[in-house]
A and B are shown apart, each in its own frame.
Chain A
Amino acid sequence: MMLQETAQGAIGVLLVLITMTGAIIVARKDLRAILFTYQLQSFFLASMAFTFYIFEKSDMMLFLAILTIVSKVLFIPYVIKRVQKKINIPRDLTFHYLSPTKAIFVTIILIFIVHVSLSATMRVLSPSRFIYLGEVLGVSLALMGMLVTFTRGKVMTKILGYLMMENGVLLFSFFVTEIPFIIEVLAMIDLLMIVLLASILALGMDIGVEEFQGRLHPFNRKKNGHNGGDNGNGQNGKGHDVRGNANQVSPAHATDKTKEVITR
């Protein structure tokens, strides 16, 4: 009985910490802070799986804890960190539909709706109110991740929102039923693939204006070189100036071109 109370206390603390990290991800704009919070959230999930292993002696929970640590605490954040370094955007300041402040209020409403929706079925099925609490917070975390995914402008934050959704599903599965380990591994592989692909896409989409301008230069050179006609300065150049050097687009001209391309 004492052991069960200790386990419930430990899992209760972890549940509260996971919910806190979810709320912080919804509210923060700093991409590094969001990533670190996601790492923490995953660590708390792994700790929860480990706690379940200690008190229930279920080997699957131990494997799940190790898998979560390796993939979600170490590997995925490492990949995202590398991409973040390349795209060089420290903060996500573009929001669709909701600002972070409004998103926090929507989060409160979401948790309340989940509680009301699940109370009719899960409360009856769940053996204890504690398990019901875990289920409500699991679904709420998944919805909070969804909220981040569609309210944020930058792909990196969208990816992190998606990852939070997966964390929510994992949390829900801890309390509702034990998902077979092989399905969890497959879900993890899917997740890794999605993170890798989305990170590659993010490299192109979340790039800063300066980098975009830099990438535009070779495009212009190539265009001028191949067309052999008007190089944009009103001169009939052939891609080379009188000294025989390749045509360089002046910074002012490049800026105009950049603006034009962005407008298009």
Chain B
Amino acid sequence: MMSFILYGVLNTLFIVLISPLFMSLIKKVKAYSQGRRGPPLLQSYYTLLKLLKKERVYSETSSSITRVTPYLSIAVMLIACLFVPVVFIPEHPVGMGNVILFLYLLALAKFFTALSGLDAGSTFGGMGSSREMSISAIVEPITIMAFAALAFTLGTTNLFDMFEVTSFATDPVLILAIVPLIIALITETSRIPVDNPETHLELTMVHEAMILEYSGSDLALIELSHAIKQTLLVAVVVNLLVPWGLSAEVSLIAIAVSMLLFFMKAAIFSVCIGIFESSIAKMRLFNLPNFFAIGFLFSILTIMLKVFK
């Protein structure tokens, strides 16, 4: 139990601290690919600190949903941090690390963000929520299928156990299962080609439209929870794709090595996201089902290949 408490504190703190850095890193890579210097790597931290000091402004029509959502969003993400081990794999209580619960936690945060978009009474918020929910309605089955394929391949629905047993050297089918996971990551974190996190154009924005009415510390919390969500999903992918380095042992050296290796793996993955985003344009909304269908196909294929074996 003590090891789990230690894990809870370390894992959550580590993820919260490094998450904004990966957002900046992606921006930096994209800037370099466009021939610009881009913002400094610590820019996301400066922005969060600035926003935390600023005043919050609410729309006259908004209800308590708008006020509650940032806190709920960050609380949900902090709980989700307990589900994805990156510092070490502890002895976990029953239910902790369950992949279905993890997905529902992410969905809960998304649901309240969409509600808050509608709550402000602005046309942009409503439009963003509508788009986000339309995309979610298509991508949720693919995300569930991706995790189901993963559970089928690794024989468990627990993320702690998955990270312990994973290795595509012994099971190449895992490569297939990773593809829909990456598609789910791109969609859930509102990245190109599904959404463009840097745009505020009426025609293209999805996630940004929902949070357009937020300001000050509320916006900081929403942005931070978005960054944490991205790090958590990246952690799931990299820990399955490159499973080496995550220790089950509780010692200072083992934890330091795990943290360092995870940081490096996630940084490389973020650089890959940046390069990918620079080389591809945002898809039209009606082309997205085709993109998601590839993820669905790979999930089904993963399950089929396991059945054939």
Contacts and interface: CB of A to CB of B under 8 A. Distances in A.
Contacts of A136: 308
B293 interface: yes
B175 A23 contact: no
B309 A129 contact: yes
Interface stretch (B115-123, B166-174, B227-235): B166-174
A252 B179 CA distance: 51
A136 B179 CA distance: 21
Contacts of A105: 293, 296-297
Interface stretch (A11-19, A58-66, A165-173, A198-206): A11-19
Contact of B294 (A17, A23, A133): A23
B290 interface: yes
A107 interface: yes
Contacts of B289: 101
Interface string B292-303: 011011101100
A16 B176 contact: yes
A24 interface: yes
Contact of A27 (B169, B170, B290): B290
A124 interface: no
Given A115-B304, A129-B308, A16 B172 contact: yes
A15 B172 contact: yes
A19 B176 CA distance: 9
A101 B293 CA distance: 6
Contact residue range for chain A?
Answer: 20 to 34
Main secondary structure of the interface of B (DSSP, over half): helix
Interface in B270-309: 289-290, 293-294, 296-298, 300-301, 304-305, 307-309
Interface residues of B, number: 22
A112 interface: yes
Interface string A100-113: 11001101100110
A93 to B, nearest CB: 11
A9 B169 contact: yes
Given A104-B296, A129-B309, A112 B172 contact: no
A100 B168 contact: no
Nearest to A136: B308
A132 interface: yes
Contact of B290 (A15, A100, A133): A100
6 contacts: A9-B172, A12-B172, A16-B172, A27-B297, A108-B297, A115-B304
Interface of A: 9, 12-13, 15-17, 19-20, 23-24, 27, 99-101, 104-105, 107-108, 111-112, 115, 129-130, 132-133, 136
Closest A-B pairs by Cβ, 6 of them: A12-B172, A13-B172, A104-B293, A101-B290, A101-B293, A104-B297
Given A19-B176, A105-B296, 13 more contacts: A9-B169, A12-B172, A13-B175, A16-B175, A17-B175, A23-B298, A24-B294, A100-B293, A101-B289, A107-B297, A108-B301, A130-B309, A132-B308
